[in-house]
Amino acid sequence: MQFFKPVICVSACLNGENVRYNGQTISDDFVRLLLKFCRPFNVCPEVSIGLGVPRDRILVYYDTNQFRLFQPTTKKDVTHLMQQFATSFLTNVYDIDGFILKAKSPSCGVSGTKIYRDSMGSVFHSKGKGLFAAEVFNRFGYLPIEDEGRLRDEDIREHFLIRIFTFAHFREMIASKPAIQDLLQFHQEHKYILMTYNQRKLSQLGRILANYKKGAFETTLNDYKTLLYTAFSKKPSQKQHINTLLHISGYFSDNLNTNEKKHFLHLIDQYRENKIRRTVIIELLRNWALRFNDTYLLSQKYLNPYPEELTVR
Ligand code: SF4
Protein backbone atom coordinates (compact mmCIF):
# COMPACT_ATOMS: atom_id res chain seq x y z
CA MET A 1 0.00 0.00 0.00
CA GLN A 2 1.26 3.48 -0.86
CA PHE A 3 1.21 6.32 1.64
CA PHE A 4 1.49 10.03 1.05
CA LYS A 5 4.40 11.59 2.89
CA PRO A 6 3.30 13.86 5.74
CA VAL A 7 4.86 17.32 5.78
CA ILE A 8 6.31 17.71 9.25
CA CYS A 9 8.02 20.68 10.90
CA VAL A 10 10.80 19.33 13.15
CA SER A 11 13.06 20.85 15.77
CA ALA A 12 16.34 20.99 13.88
CA CYS A 13 18.28 19.33 16.72
CA LEU A 14 16.09 16.21 16.27
CA ASN A 15 16.88 16.04 12.60
CA GLY A 16 20.64 15.99 12.42
CA GLU A 17 21.59 19.65 12.95
CA ASN A 18 24.19 20.46 15.61
CA VAL A 19 22.25 23.39 16.98
CA ARG A 20 21.77 22.54 20.65
CA TYR A 21 23.18 24.91 23.29
CA ASN A 22 26.21 22.59 23.56
CA GLY A 23 26.69 22.26 19.80
CA GLN A 24 25.26 18.76 19.69
CA THR A 25 22.32 17.05 18.05
CA ILE A 26 19.80 14.55 19.48
CA SER A 27 19.47 11.07 18.12
CA ASP A 28 16.07 9.50 18.56
CA ASP A 29 15.55 6.14 16.83
CA PHE A 30 11.83 6.47 16.23
CA VAL A 31 11.97 10.08 14.98
CA ARG A 32 14.82 9.13 12.65
CA LEU A 33 12.79 6.21 11.26
CA LEU A 34 9.56 8.19 10.98
CA LEU A 35 11.18 11.07 9.12
CA LYS A 36 12.21 8.66 6.35
CA PHE A 37 8.48 8.38 5.55
CA CYS A 38 7.87 12.15 5.77
CA ARG A 39 8.80 15.42 4.11
CA PRO A 40 10.40 17.16 7.08
CA PHE A 41 11.60 20.74 7.32
CA ASN A 42 13.69 21.96 10.22
CA VAL A 43 13.43 24.91 12.53
CA CYS A 44 15.71 26.03 15.35
CA PRO A 45 14.06 29.04 16.99
CA GLU A 46 17.01 29.84 19.26
CA VAL A 47 19.57 29.93 16.45
CA SER A 48 17.06 31.87 14.33
CA ILE A 49 16.90 34.66 16.90
CA GLY A 50 20.68 34.90 16.90
CA LEU A 51 21.61 33.14 20.13
CA GLY A 52 24.40 31.22 18.38
CA VAL A 53 25.97 27.79 18.94
CA PRO A 54 27.22 27.03 21.54
CA ARG A 55 25.21 29.36 23.75
CA ASP A 56 24.43 29.86 27.38
CA ARG A 57 21.28 28.32 28.74
CA ILE A 58 17.99 30.18 28.48
CA LEU A 59 14.90 29.54 30.58
CA VAL A 60 11.22 30.37 30.84
CA TYR A 61 9.88 32.19 33.86
CA TYR A 62 6.45 33.46 34.76
CA ASP A 63 6.14 37.13 35.54
CA THR A 64 2.94 39.16 36.00
CA ASN A 65 0.72 37.05 33.79
CA GLN A 66 3.36 36.56 31.13
CA PHE A 67 5.85 33.85 30.22
CA ARG A 68 9.28 35.32 29.58
CA LEU A 69 12.34 33.83 27.90
CA PHE A 70 15.57 34.84 29.59
CA GLN A 71 19.30 34.12 29.45
CA PRO A 72 20.55 34.42 33.06
CA THR A 73 24.29 34.72 32.29
CA THR A 74 23.88 37.67 29.91
CA LYS A 75 20.66 39.02 31.53
CA LYS A 76 19.16 39.14 28.04
CA ASP A 77 15.37 38.98 27.78
CA VAL A 78 14.62 37.39 24.42
CA THR A 79 10.83 37.08 24.83
CA HIS A 80 10.00 39.65 22.20
CA LEU A 81 12.56 38.33 19.72
CA MET A 82 11.16 34.81 20.07
CA GLN A 83 7.58 35.97 19.70
CA GLN A 84 8.49 37.95 16.59
CA PHE A 85 10.31 35.00 15.09
CA ALA A 86 7.50 32.54 15.90
CA THR A 87 4.91 34.82 14.32
CA SER A 88 6.85 35.45 11.12
CA PHE A 89 8.01 31.83 10.72
CA LEU A 90 4.59 30.28 11.37
CA THR A 91 2.78 32.78 9.17
CA ASN A 92 4.68 31.26 6.26
CA VAL A 93 3.91 27.67 7.20
CA TYR A 94 1.02 26.08 5.33
CA ASP A 95 0.11 22.73 3.83
CA ILE A 96 1.56 21.00 6.84
CA ASP A 97 0.43 17.83 8.63
CA GLY A 98 2.11 18.04 12.03
CA PHE A 99 5.03 19.04 14.26
CA ILE A 100 7.69 17.08 16.16
CA LEU A 101 9.40 19.35 18.65
CA LYS A 102 12.18 18.79 21.17
CA ALA A 103 10.93 17.79 24.61
CA LYS A 104 11.47 20.08 27.60
CA SER A 105 13.17 22.87 25.66
CA PRO A 106 12.39 26.46 26.78
CA SER A 107 11.61 27.21 23.13
CA CYS A 108 10.34 23.95 21.60
CA GLY A 109 8.95 21.94 24.55
CA VAL A 110 5.30 20.97 24.05
CA SER A 111 4.38 20.25 27.66
CA GLY A 112 7.24 19.33 30.00
CA THR A 113 9.29 22.53 29.93
CA LYS A 114 10.35 23.76 33.36
CA ILE A 115 8.94 27.16 34.15
CA TYR A 116 10.46 29.17 36.98
CA ARG A 117 9.16 31.87 39.27
CA ASP A 118 12.25 34.04 38.77
CA SER A 119 14.54 35.05 35.91
CA MET A 120 17.56 33.27 37.41
CA GLY A 121 15.78 29.93 37.54
CA SER A 122 16.13 29.37 41.27
CA VAL A 123 12.48 28.72 42.15
CA PHE A 124 10.38 26.19 40.25
CA HIS A 125 6.88 27.33 39.20
CA SER A 126 5.33 24.61 36.99
CA LYS A 127 5.75 22.64 33.80
CA GLY A 128 4.41 23.96 30.51
CA LYS A 129 5.29 24.86 26.94
CA GLY A 130 8.32 26.54 25.45
CA LEU A 131 7.63 29.94 23.91
CA PHE A 132 7.91 28.87 20.27
CA ALA A 133 5.79 25.77 20.91
CA ALA A 134 3.10 27.90 22.57
CA GLU A 135 2.70 29.86 19.34
CA VAL A 136 2.62 26.60 17.34
CA PHE A 137 -0.33 25.49 19.50
CA ASN A 138 -2.03 28.87 19.07
CA ARG A 139 -1.95 28.64 15.32
CA PHE A 140 -1.97 24.91 14.60
CA GLY A 141 -3.79 23.42 17.58
CA TYR A 142 -5.92 21.30 15.21
CA LEU A 143 -2.80 19.44 13.99
CA PRO A 144 -0.77 16.70 15.74
CA ILE A 145 2.01 18.37 17.77
CA GLU A 146 4.28 16.07 19.78
CA ASP A 147 7.77 15.77 21.18
CA GLU A 148 10.16 12.83 20.85
CA GLY A 149 9.65 11.88 24.51
CA ARG A 150 5.86 11.60 24.29
CA LEU A 151 6.16 9.65 21.03
CA ARG A 152 7.75 6.80 23.02
CA ASP A 153 4.32 6.11 24.48
CA GLU A 154 2.72 3.57 22.12
CA ASP A 155 -0.80 5.03 22.26
CA ILE A 156 0.34 8.62 21.75
CA ARG A 157 2.56 7.45 18.91
CA GLU A 158 -0.25 5.62 17.17
CA HIS A 159 -2.63 8.56 17.56
CA PHE A 160 0.05 10.81 16.04
CA LEU A 161 0.77 8.44 13.13
CA ILE A 162 -2.88 7.94 12.22
CA ARG A 163 -3.46 11.68 12.11
CA ILE A 164 -0.37 12.72 10.15
CA PHE A 165 -0.91 10.05 7.48
CA THR A 166 -4.66 10.79 7.24
CA PHE A 167 -4.05 14.52 6.99
CA ALA A 168 -1.28 13.99 4.40
CA HIS A 169 -3.68 11.93 2.31
CA PHE A 170 -6.36 14.61 2.56
CA ARG A 171 -3.90 17.43 1.77
CA GLU A 172 -2.59 15.59 -1.30
CA MET A 173 -6.12 14.91 -2.45
CA ILE A 174 -6.94 18.62 -2.25
CA ALA A 175 -3.73 19.48 -4.12
CA SER A 176 -4.78 17.18 -6.96
CA LYS A 177 -7.84 19.37 -7.67
CA PRO A 178 -10.37 16.73 -6.74
CA ALA A 179 -13.94 16.18 -7.89
CA ILE A 180 -16.78 15.05 -5.64
CA GLN A 181 -15.98 11.40 -6.49
CA ASP A 182 -12.49 11.79 -4.98
CA LEU A 183 -13.92 13.18 -1.77
CA LEU A 184 -16.49 10.38 -1.63
CA GLN A 185 -13.71 7.83 -2.06
CA PHE A 186 -11.64 9.46 0.68
CA HIS A 187 -14.65 9.33 2.98
CA GLN A 188 -15.33 5.70 2.15
CA GLU A 189 -11.73 4.62 2.76
CA HIS A 190 -11.66 6.40 6.12
CA LYS A 191 -15.05 5.25 7.29
CA TYR A 192 -13.79 2.90 10.01
CA ILE A 193 -11.05 5.23 11.22
CA LEU A 194 -13.65 7.98 11.56
CA MET A 195 -16.09 5.63 13.21
CA THR A 196 -13.42 4.78 15.79
CA TYR A 197 -12.50 8.39 16.48
CA ASN A 198 -15.90 10.00 16.47
CA GLN A 199 -19.15 8.35 15.33
CA ARG A 200 -21.09 11.60 15.51
CA LYS A 201 -18.65 13.42 13.26
CA LEU A 202 -18.60 10.49 10.85
CA SER A 203 -22.36 10.97 10.42
CA GLN A 204 -21.99 14.75 10.09
CA LEU A 205 -19.30 14.31 7.43
CA GLY A 206 -21.59 11.87 5.63
CA ARG A 207 -24.37 14.45 5.71
CA ILE A 208 -22.09 17.11 4.21
CA LEU A 209 -21.45 14.77 1.29
CA ALA A 210 -25.10 13.77 0.98
CA ASN A 211 -26.10 17.46 0.77
CA TYR A 212 -23.62 18.18 -2.02
CA LYS A 213 -25.14 20.33 -4.72
CA LYS A 214 -23.77 20.48 -8.23
CA GLY A 215 -21.59 23.55 -8.69
CA ALA A 216 -20.95 23.97 -4.96
CA PHE A 217 -18.02 21.60 -4.56
CA GLU A 218 -15.74 24.22 -2.95
CA THR A 219 -18.25 24.75 -0.15
CA THR A 220 -18.64 21.01 0.39
CA LEU A 221 -14.87 20.54 0.45
CA ASN A 222 -14.32 23.39 2.91
CA ASP A 223 -17.08 22.20 5.24
CA TYR A 224 -15.70 18.66 5.08
CA LYS A 225 -12.14 19.84 5.76
CA THR A 226 -13.08 21.89 8.82
CA LEU A 227 -14.99 19.02 10.38
CA LEU A 228 -12.44 16.36 9.43
CA TYR A 229 -9.64 17.92 11.49
CA THR A 230 -11.84 18.25 14.56
CA ALA A 231 -12.98 14.62 14.25
CA PHE A 232 -9.44 13.51 15.14
CA SER A 233 -8.94 15.77 18.14
CA LYS A 234 -9.34 13.09 20.83
CA LYS A 235 -7.52 9.76 21.07
CA PRO A 236 -10.11 6.96 20.82
CA SER A 237 -10.67 4.65 23.77
CA GLN A 238 -10.14 0.90 23.78
CA LYS A 239 -13.93 0.51 23.78
CA GLN A 240 -14.20 2.56 20.57
CA HIS A 241 -11.57 0.35 18.92
CA ILE A 242 -13.34 -2.83 20.03
CA ASN A 243 -16.59 -1.55 18.57
CA THR A 244 -14.88 -1.04 15.19
CA LEU A 245 -13.08 -4.40 15.30
CA LEU A 246 -16.37 -6.20 15.99
CA HIS A 247 -18.07 -4.25 13.26
CA ILE A 248 -15.45 -5.24 10.69
CA SER A 249 -15.49 -8.88 11.80
CA GLY A 250 -19.23 -8.89 11.00
CA TYR A 251 -18.33 -8.82 7.29
CA PHE A 252 -16.93 -12.33 7.60
CA SER A 253 -19.57 -13.91 9.81
CA ASP A 254 -21.10 -16.00 6.99
CA ASN A 255 -17.72 -17.35 5.93
CA LEU A 256 -16.10 -18.29 9.22
CA ASN A 257 -16.56 -21.50 11.15
CA THR A 258 -17.50 -21.58 14.84
CA ASN A 259 -13.93 -22.10 16.01
CA GLU A 260 -12.68 -19.13 14.02
CA LYS A 261 -15.41 -16.92 15.48
CA LYS A 262 -14.62 -18.14 18.99
CA HIS A 263 -10.93 -17.48 18.44
CA PHE A 264 -11.69 -13.94 17.30
CA LEU A 265 -13.79 -13.20 20.40
CA HIS A 266 -11.05 -14.70 22.56
CA LEU A 267 -8.56 -12.27 21.00
CA ILE A 268 -10.94 -9.36 21.68
CA ASP A 269 -11.08 -10.43 25.36
CA GLN A 270 -7.30 -10.63 25.49
CA TYR A 271 -7.04 -7.16 23.98
CA ARG A 272 -9.60 -5.86 26.48
CA GLU A 273 -7.44 -7.27 29.30
CA ASN A 274 -4.33 -5.70 27.72
CA LYS A 275 -2.70 -9.08 27.14
CA ILE A 276 -2.23 -8.54 23.41
CA ARG A 277 -1.89 -5.51 21.18
CA ARG A 278 -4.62 -4.44 18.79
CA THR A 279 -2.26 -5.05 15.86
CA VAL A 280 -2.68 -8.82 16.39
CA ILE A 281 -6.42 -8.53 15.74
CA ILE A 282 -5.96 -6.13 12.86
CA GLU A 283 -3.55 -8.58 11.25
CA LEU A 284 -6.17 -11.33 11.52
CA LEU A 285 -8.85 -9.10 9.96
CA ARG A 286 -6.47 -8.17 7.16
CA ASN A 287 -5.81 -11.86 6.51
CA TRP A 288 -9.52 -12.60 6.35
CA ALA A 289 -10.07 -9.64 4.00
CA LEU A 290 -7.38 -11.10 1.72
CA ARG A 291 -8.70 -14.65 2.01
CA PHE A 292 -12.24 -13.59 1.06
CA ASN A 293 -10.98 -10.96 -1.38
CA ASP A 294 -13.01 -8.23 0.29
CA THR A 295 -11.81 -5.23 -1.71
CA TYR A 296 -13.95 -2.81 0.32
CA LEU A 297 -12.26 -3.80 3.57
CA LEU A 298 -8.84 -4.01 1.96
CA SER A 299 -9.22 -0.34 1.02
CA GLN A 300 -10.11 0.64 4.61
CA LYS A 301 -7.42 2.80 6.18
CA TYR A 302 -8.34 1.45 9.61
CA LEU A 303 -6.65 -1.81 8.61
CA ASN A 304 -3.64 0.01 7.07
CA PRO A 305 -3.42 3.50 8.55
CA TYR A 306 0.34 4.07 8.08
CA PRO A 307 3.45 2.26 6.79
CA GLU A 308 3.96 -1.13 8.41
CA GLU A 309 7.58 -0.34 9.30
CA LEU A 310 6.26 2.17 11.86
CA THR A 311 3.97 -0.28 13.62
CA VAL A 312 4.56 -1.07 17.28
CA ARG A 313 4.40 -4.86 17.63
S1 SF4 B 1 15.20 22.46 21.10
FE2 SF4 B 1 14.53 23.90 19.54
S3 SF4 B 1 15.64 25.77 20.02
FE4 SF4 B 1 16.65 24.13 21.14
S5 SF4 B 1 18.26 23.41 19.79
FE6 SF4 B 1 16.50 22.16 19.36
S7 SF4 B 1 15.50 23.20 17.68
FE8 SF4 B 1 16.89 24.67 18.55
Mean pLDDT across the stretch 175-199? 97
Report the percentage of the chain scoring pLDDT > 70.
99
Task: State if residue 44 touches ligand 1 by the CB under 6 angstroms criterion.
Answer: yes
102 CA to centre of ligand 1 in angstroms: 7
Task: Give yes or no for a contact between 56 and 69, defined as CB atoms under 8 angstroms apart.
Answer: no
What pLDDT score does 196 carry?
98
CA distance 105 to 85: 16
Q: How sure is the predictor about 64, in pLDDT bands with cuts at 50, 70 and 90?
A: confident
Task: State if residue 15 touches ligand 1 by the CB under 6 angstroms criterion.
Answer: no
Q: Which tens digits make up the pLDDT trace of 277-299?
A: 999 999 999 999 999 999 999 99
What pLDDT score does 215 carry?
86
Report the percentage of the chain scoring pLDDT > 90.
97
* Ligand 1 atom showing the smallest separation from residue 102 Cα: 1
Q: Which tens digits make up the pLDDT trace of 199-247?
A: 999 999 999 999 998 889 999 999 999 999 999 999 999 999 999 999 9
Q: Which tens digits make up the pLDDT trace of 95-113?
A: 999 999 999 999 999 999 9
The b/e string for 121-138 (b: 16+ C-beta within 10 A; e otherwise) is beeeeeebbbbbbbbbee
Task: State if residue 113 touches ligand 1 by the CB under 6 angstroms criterion.
Answer: no
Q: Which of 11, 17, 21 to mutate to test the pocket of ligand 1 (most atoms within 8 A of CB)?
A: 11
What pLDDT score does 214 carry?
86
Task: Give yes or no for a contact between 167 and 229, defined as CB atoms under 8 angstroms apart.
Answer: yes
Spell out the residues 6+ positions from residue 88 whose beta carbon is closer than 8 angstroms to its own. none
Task: Give yes or no for a contact between 210 and 184, defined as CB atoms under 8 angstroms apart.
Answer: no
Helix residue ranges, H only, the chain: 29-35, 45-48, 79-91, 131-140, 154-175, 180-189, 191-197, 199-210, 217-231, 238-249, 258-272, 278-291, 295-298
Where in the chain are the domains?
A: 7-151, 153-313
Phi, psi of 176 (to 5 degrees): -85, 15
Q: Which of 8, 9, 13 to mutate to test the pocket of ligand 1 (most atoms within 8 A of CB)?
A: 13
Residue 47 has pLDDT above 80, yes or no: yes
Q: Ligand 1 atom 5: the closest Cα is on which residue?
A: 20
CA distance 274 to 251: 25
Q: Which residues pair with 10 in a beta bridge?
A: 42, 100
133 CA to centre of ligand 1 in angstroms: 11
- How large is the angle between the packed helices 258-272 and 238-249, nearest 10 degrees? 170
Q: Which tens digits make up the pLDDT trace of 2-42?
A: 899 999 999 999 999 999 999 999 999 999 999 999 999 99
Q: Ligand 1 atom 8: the closest Cα is on which residue?
A: 44
- How large is the angle between the packed helices 199-210 and 180-189, nearest 10 degrees? 160
Query: Considering the chain, what is the average pLDDT of its residues?
Result: 96
Q: Which of 19, 22, 82 to mutate to test the pocket of ligand 1 (most atoms within 8 A of CB)?
A: 19
Closest CA to 166 of 142, 147, 134: 142
Report the predicted TM-score, pTM, of the whole model to 2 decimal places.
0.96
49 CA to centre of ligand 1 in angstroms: 11
CA–chain centroid gap for 242, Å, is: 22
What pLDDT score does 313 carry?
63
Q: Which tens digits make up the pLDDT trace of 137-176?
A: 999 999 999 999 999 999 999 999 999 999 999 999 999 9
CA distance 12 to 232: 27
What pLDDT score does 2 carry?
84
89 CA to centre of ligand 1 in angstroms: 15
What pLDDT score does 103 carry?
97
Q: Which tens digits make up the pLDDT trace of 252-264?
A: 999 999 999 999 9
Residue 1 has pLDDT above 90, yes or no: no
11 CA to centre of ligand 1 in angstroms: 6
* Ligand 1 atom showing the smallest separation from residue 21 Cα: 5
62 CA to centre of ligand 1 in angstroms: 20
